[in-house]
Amino acid sequence: MNQDGVIKLSDFGWSTHTPDNRRKTMCGTLDYLPPEMVHKKAYDHTIDIWSVGILAFEFVTGHPPFESDDQAETFRKIKSLDVQYPEYVSHLARDFIARILQNDSESRPLIATVLEHPWLKQAE
C-alpha cells in the first residue's frame, strides 16, 4: 500500500519484451484468456484491459463470465462473447463490463477511459 492508501497488484510471471510489443504465446488462466489467444493470434497490451472486464464480472458475481465445464465450451463462450449477467448486476456494471469485453482488441477502451466510467465514479 502506498502513501495514498492505494494497493497495486501485478504478476510478471509471463512478462516479456518483444520488438513489436506483440506476443503469440498462449498462457494464463483459462477463464481470463482473451479472444486473441483463443484464436491463436498475436496480441498486445489490450489483453490487460480484457482482464479488467473479467475481474469486474468476477468481483460482482463471484465467478468468471465464461466459466464452463470444459475447455472447448469456455473457448466457444469467449469467441462468441456469451456473457450471462445475473439479474442483480446493475445496468452500469453491465455497461462497464460490456465496453471492455470486446472481441476486437482495438475496440477496447484505454485505461484512462475505463477509470472514468460512471460505475467506478459512483463509488468515489
pLDDT digits (tens, 9 = 90+) for 84-108: 999 999 999 999 999 999 999 999 9
The CA distance from 123 to 118, in Å, is 9
Residue 67 lies in a domain: yes
How many other CB atoms are found less than 10 A from the CB of residue 122?
9
Q: Can you give the residue range of the structural domain that contains 60? A: 30-121
List the CATH number of the domain containing 39: 1.10.510.10
The DSSP 8-state label assigned to residue 16 in this structure reads -
Give Rg (Cα) of the chain.
Answer: 15
Q: What are residue 5's phi and psi, to 5 degrees?
A: 80, 20
Residue 72 lies in a domain: yes
pLDDT > 90 fraction of the chain, expressed in percent and rounded: 60
Output the pTM of the full model.
Answer: 0.78
Residue 96 lies in a domain: yes
pLDDT higher than threshold 60 for residue 61: yes
Determine contact, residues 35/78, Cβ cutoff 8 Å.
yes
